Amino acid sequence: PLGSLYTLLEHDTATEFVDEFAEIPIDASEVVWIATANESSSIPSPILNRMNVYSIDAPDYEGSLRIARCIYEELRTEHAWGRTFPVVLGADSLDRLARLKPREMRRVLLAAFGNAKLAGRDEIRPDDITEERTAKKTRIGF
């Protein structure tokens, strides 16, 4: 599947690229390719040699706090149910979120909103923030 990338990433050969499926020649020499990867070690060297590689460090603690605040605010405002929650997430809850990777924050925070609602609250507490993949179960009286 990487074969066509060798052609597309070289300016000279990209001018006469022929798609194997459509069998239509195109000039892809002016295309700016952007690719992302969590780990570059599995990408063949000839592909990496044709790209500019930038490494982006994970956010520090303060950066993670800012990301957590932004995700909380976004989720709170884009859903009608979120508007019943406080505008600002508590410091202890933010601290727990900041320890997670940014990619995990959204999933965990959505679950935390659900956990708080299941507990009958309109406020997220630190114990609502869990990395478990299932929401907390509450008894329904049977």
Give the pLDDT band (50/70/90) at residue 9. Answer: very high
Cα distances (angstroms) measured from residue 100 to each of 39, 56, 67, 117: 19, 17, 11, 22
* Residue ranges per structural domain of the chain: 3-48, 61-128
Each residue of 49-92: pLDDT tens digit? 999 999 988 899 999 999 999 999 999 999 999 999 999 999 99
Q: What is the dihedral of CA 35, 39, 44, 46, to 10 degrees?
A: 60
Per-residue pLDDT of 91-132, as tens digits, reads 999 999 999 998 899 999 999 999 999 999 999 999 999 976
Rounded Cα–Cα distance for residues 97 and 106 (Å): 9
d(CA 2, CA 51): 14
The answer, as to whether pTM is greater than 0.95, is no
Rounded to whole angstroms, how far apart are CA atoms 46 and 68? 38
